[in-house]
Amino acid sequence: MRLICARMQSGGEPSARPQPPQGARNLVVVVLDSLRFDSWVEARPAALAQLGPVQRRWSYATWTAPSHYNLLMGLMPHTSPPEVYASEYYKEDFRRYGERLGVEGMEFKKVLPSIFLPTYLRNTLGYRTGAMVSMPVLNPYTVLNRDFDSYELMPAHNDMAAMLPKLAFDAARPGFWLLNVGETHYPYALPDEDPSQWPRISGVHGVFKTLDDDPADRDGAPTEPEEFFDRAKMRELHGRQIEAVTYIDGVIGRLFDQLPSNTWVIVTSDHGELFGEDRYFGHGPVMHEKVLEVPYVEGLVP
């Protein structure tokens, strides 16, 4: 019976939702998928800089699904502080929600037992909750879609601007939005780019090894170690991600203009990306510093 009641409550009946605390702020978390810290730094995004100086932080996971689960638990990319117990770091990170949300007395034990930010914000603080995601691996049928009033997989993987008209706030309740943005994800394509012009990488073995694998075909060339990556291609791909940040910065500027003034904004990434370093490309089954190194910035909307 309790399960049924809980389901009815989470079915969106406004009267079942608690009244939000006075002055509670909107919270918008923008995740620029796969964005490396140094791509942000090289792009020097002006709109994003209004939130404050970008921090170099570390993702808890190397790819999209576990990283977003971690983010929705409320744990933002970490600072990797030495000589600190994990439990103490988590507690301190949750205390930060006091400032982010403008709600007093935030602490880790309040998000128990779900340890899921949308659940806490919606069912305990009375928020409206929404998500728009670009990556199919985060689609609405996954476990991530829990206690969201709306949750949408965007039609295109790389069009943050299409999210802006759908971003709604309720005057009577604060809102939480998760925006997963795909322009910074491979193939680092802007929405107006013709897909036939996207760079093609079919797989590590098919593409990154030089086509000429047979030493006999080299006609006496020096037996240098084989080039595993096309380095020019890697530089081009990294450049495309930097260009994507420059473009996204313009969309972020429009987002800032649109957000209510009492909105706390976090912009970060779910993981980094490898562009040929130590013979790695991309993210996921990669053990490398660059796949965990992410940008992080937060503050009240400028």
Q: Where along the sequence are the contacts to Zn ion (CB under 5 A)?
A: 33-34, 64, 270
Q: Which is nearer to Zn ion, 106 or 163 (CB)?
A: 163
Task: Please name which of 147, 116, 134, 81 lies closest in space to residue 269, comparing C-alpha atoms.
Answer: 134
Q: Which is nearer to Zn ion, 24 or 61 (CB)?
A: 61
Smallest gap, in angstroms, from Cβ of residue 287 to Zn ion? 17
Q: Decide: residue 210, CB within 10 A, 0-12 exposed, 13-18 middle, 19+ buried.
A: exposed
Strands 128-133 and 175-181, how do they pair? parallel
Dihedrals φ, ψ of 83, to 5°?
A: 60, 35
Q: Which is nearer to Zn ion, 70 or 246 (CB)?
A: 70
Smallest gap, in angstroms, from Cβ of residue 198 to Zn ion? 18
Smallest gap, in angstroms, from Cβ of residue 34 to Zn ion? 5
- 248-253: Cβ within 8 A, 24+ apart: 248/32, 248/45, 248/160, 248/181, 248/183, 248/184, 249/43, 249/45, 249/46, 249/47, 249/48, 250/47, 251/160, 251/161, 251/164, 252/30, 252/45, 252/47, 252/48, 253/46, 253/47
Smallest gap, in angstroms, from Cβ of residue 77 to Zn ion? 12
Q: Which is nearer to Zn ion, 98 or 284 (CB)?
A: 284
Q: Which is nearer to Zn ion, 291 or 301 (CB)?
A: 291
* Amino acid, single-letter form, for residue 167: L
Looking at beta carbons, which residue is closest to Zn ion? 64
Residue with tokens 């002055």: 23
Smallest gap, in angstroms, from Cβ of residue 139 to Zn ion? 13
* Amino acid, single-letter form, for residue 105: G
Q: Which is nearer to Zn ion, 117 or 133 (CB)?
A: 133
Smallest gap, in angstroms, from Cβ of residue 272 to Zn ion? 10
